[in-house]
Structure 1
Amino acid sequence: MTKPVVVGLDGSPSSLDAVTAAAHEAAWRGAQLRLVHAFGSPHLHGLPAGPPWNPATAGVRELLDGTLAEAERRVRAVAADLDVDRDIAVGEPLMVLEIASRTASLLVVGSRGLGAFGSLLLGSTSAHLAAHGRCPVLVVRGRTGPGGPVLLAVDDAPANEAAVRFAFAEASLRGADLVAVHVCRPGSPEAYAGPADPPFVTFDEIHLLEHAGHVLEKALAGGRERYPDVRLRQRPAVGQVRRTLIDASANAQVLVVGARGRGGFTGLLLGSVSQAVLHHAHCPVIVVRPGQA
Structure 2
Amino acid sequence: MPTQEPSPQLSPPEVGEPAHRPLFVVGVDGSPSSVKALRHAVTLGQFQNALVRAVTVWSYPNSYTPLPTTWSPEDDAREILAEVTASVFGDSVPEWFEQKTHEGTPARVLIDESANADMIVVGSRGHGGFAGLLLGSVSSQCAEHAGCPVLVVHGTDTV
TM-score by length of 2: 0.74
Q: Hey, what's the Cα distance between the residues in 1 that align with 2:29 and 2:135?
A: 15
- Residue equivalent to 1:84: 97
CA drift of 1:70 comes to 2.4
- Residue equivalent to 2:134: 121
Question: Which has the higher relative contact order, 1 or 2, with Cα contacts under 8 A spaced 6 or more apart?
Answer: 2
- Residue equivalent to 2:49: 30
Q: Hey, what's the Cα distance between the residues in 2 that align with 1:102 and 1:120?
A: 27
Does 1:111 find its partner at 2:95?
no
CA drift of 1:95 comes to 0.8
Q: Is the 8 A contact 1:4 1:31 kept in 2?
A: yes
Q: Hey, what's the Cα distance between the residues in 2 that align with 1:143 and 1:11?
A: 12
Q: Which amino acid aligns with 2:104?
A: G
Does 1:2 find its partner at 2:21?
yes
Does 1:16 find its partner at 2:29?
no
- Residue equivalent to 1:71: 85
TM-score by length of 1: 0.42
- Residue equivalent to 1:61: 75
The runs of 5 or more residues in structure 1 that have no matched partner are 147-293
The structure-2 alpha-carbon separation of the partners of 1:136 and 1:84, relative to structure 1 and needing over 3 Å to count, comes to same
Q: Is the 8 A contact 1:14 1:140 kept in 2?
A: yes
CA drift of 1:60 comes to 4.8
CA drift of 1:73 comes to 3.2
Identity %: 32
In structure 2, the residue corresponding to 1:57 is in which secondary structure?
coil
Q: Hey, what's the Cα distance between the residues in 1 that align with 2:78 and 2:102?
A: 11
Q: Hey, what's the Cα distance between the residues in 2 that align with 1:9 and 1:46?
A: 24
Does 1:139 find its partner at 2:152?
yes
Count of residue pairs brought into register by the alignment = 139
Aligned-pair Cα RMSD in Å: 2.7
In structure 2, the residue corresponding to 1:102 is in which secondary structure?
coil
- Residue equivalent to 1:39: 58
Structure 1 ranges of 4+ moved more than 6 A = 143-146
The structure-2 alpha-carbon separation of the partners of 1:9 and 1:143, relative to structure 1 and needing over 3 Å to count, comes to closer
Q: Of the candidates 115, 118, 130, which is equivalent to residue 143 of structure 2? A: 130
Q: Hey, what's the Cα distance between the residues in 1 that align with 2:80 and 2:103?
A: 18
CA drift of 1:25 comes to 1.6
Q: Hey, what's the Cα distance between the residues in 2 that align with 1:3 and 1:141?
A: 23
CA drift of 1:80 comes to 5.7
The structure-2 alpha-carbon separation of the partners of 1:61 and 1:111, relative to structure 1 and needing over 3 Å to count, comes to same
